[in-house]
Amino acid sequence: MAVTWAKALSWRSRRHLLDPVGTGSVADVVRRLGPVPAWPDAAAELAIGTRRTDGRSGDATRALAAGNVVKVFAFRGATHLMTPRDAGAYLAVRASSRMWELPSWERYYGLAPSDWPRFREYVRQALAEGPIKRSELAAALGRISRYRHLRSIVAEGNDTLLKPLTWQGDLGLGPVLDGEATFLSLDSVRGWAGIPDLDEAGPAVIAAYFSTHGPATPDRVHDWFGKGLGAKRRDVTRWLSHLDERLEAVTIAGDLVLVLCEDLDDLGTTTPSTAVRLLPGRDPWVMAPGTSDTRIVPPAHREAVSWSANLVISRGVVAGTWKVRGERLDITWFSDSGRVPSTALDQEAMALARFLDRRLEVAVEVG
């Protein structure tokens, strides 16, 4: 089967709901992408909204408030949006590092590994009546002498202590209320599936990665789940072996990569995409394969991508950057990206204006 990277990126673009743009809900997009970076809020809104034909700014926030998606600490400890059904598997992998048992954590927080079950239960009780603000969670910790020393840590916005509570399925983040972060019990969210067994979760999240972000090398899978979720290398290797019968090795332009067997026919018949899209910085399109992937991020422009610039994607490749200043949309088209696709950029500008609900005047420069 002859597969080129142009075909592979086109197939991935369809899986990402970028070409064609999807017609589903916020939860449908999040389910397809897996974890979506939740900060900054505007970037999360656009990452989801640009993949929906009727997407509008604020849709993701409303979906979070309705419990259609959850916000949790996941990759690299940052907040991500996931579906209630799928979140537990990613959290199981993240929890496998058991960082809260490190001696440095015990010294800083005054909690030994044996103290965590009781601490978790105390926090679950604090969340039992419904979502609470950060100040209310801090006050709850201050009401008992055992945890009083943690009150200021939480009140001052140090969320590191709270991350293991998310990883173990106790706590999620809700929408900001009166300028404060809110926290909720994940058990209260409709559709929350809990934390599965690690050897069930690992193969599941790897298969999901291939389904949306493939084709990919085993090394990239190790990077994504090892550096991103703290999974041990031996565990990722074992999970890949569990998927042996579902994965097929394919050579694309000299690169040996893996593809889910169920996707092989579709991949082989895909035609190269010519789509142009305006994406936010740190969009899953570039973060999942990694900014070191030269097929998507030309080395000359990696610095801009790494610094979270908003991205112009053409045929699946980073081809420029963009910024909104008031009612002006400034697009920088990279000089090494070929001819400026003026009509496609105008169409994308109209879609962005619709999403933001504001008029935008487009200015394009080649640089």
- For residue 319, the model assigns a pLDDT of 98
- For residue 2, the model assigns a pLDDT of 77
| Mean local confidence (pLDDT), 233-237 | 98
The domain tally of the chain equals 1
The answer as to whether 129 is a domain residue is no
**Are residues 70 and 139 in contact, defined by beta-carbon separation less than 8 angstroms?**
no
Express each pLDDT in 146-166 by its tens digit. 999 999 999 999 999 999 999
The answer as to whether 236 is a domain residue is yes
The answer as to whether 238 is a domain residue is yes
CATH number of the domain residue 263 falls in: 1.10.10.10
Q: Return phi, psi of residue 70, to 5°.
A: -120, 155
Express each pLDDT in 294-323 by its tens digit. 999 999 999 999 999 999 999 999 999 999
The answer as to whether 232 is a domain residue is yes
Please give the residue that has the higher pLDDT: either 161 or 129: 161
| Mean local confidence (pLDDT), 106-117 | 97
Express each pLDDT in 171-193 by its tens digit. 999 999 999 999 999 999 999 99
Per-residue H/E/C for the chain:
CCCCHHHHHHHHHHHCCECCEECCCHHHHHHHHCCEECCCHHHHHHHHHCCECCCCCCHHHHHHHCCCCEEEECHHHCEEEECHHHHHHHHHHHHCCCHHHCHHHHHHHCCCHHHHHHHHHHHHHHHCCCCEEHHHHHHHHHCCHHHHHHHHHHHCCCCHHHHHHHHCCCEEEEEEECCEEEEEEHHHCCCCCCCCCHHHHHHHHHHHHHHHHCCECHHHHHHHHHHHHCCCHHHHHHHHHHCHHHEEEEEECCEEEEEEHHHHHHHHHCCCCCCEEEECCCCHHHHCCCCCCCCCCCHHHHHHHHCCCEEEEECCEEEEEEEEECCEEEEEECHHHCCCCHHHHHHHHHHHHHHHCCCCEEEEEEC
| Mean local confidence (pLDDT), 60-64 | 98
pTM of the model: 0.96
The answer as to whether 213 is a domain residue is yes
Residue 40 preceded by cis peptide, ω within 30:
yes
The answer as to whether 362 is a domain residue is no
| Mean local confidence (pLDDT), 263-290 | 96
The answer as to whether 137 is a domain residue is no
pLDDT over threshold 70, residue 1? no
- Domain hosting 242: range is 198-269
| Mean local confidence (pLDDT), 250-257 | 95
Report percent pLDDT > 90 for the chain.
98
The answer as to whether 216 is a domain residue is yes
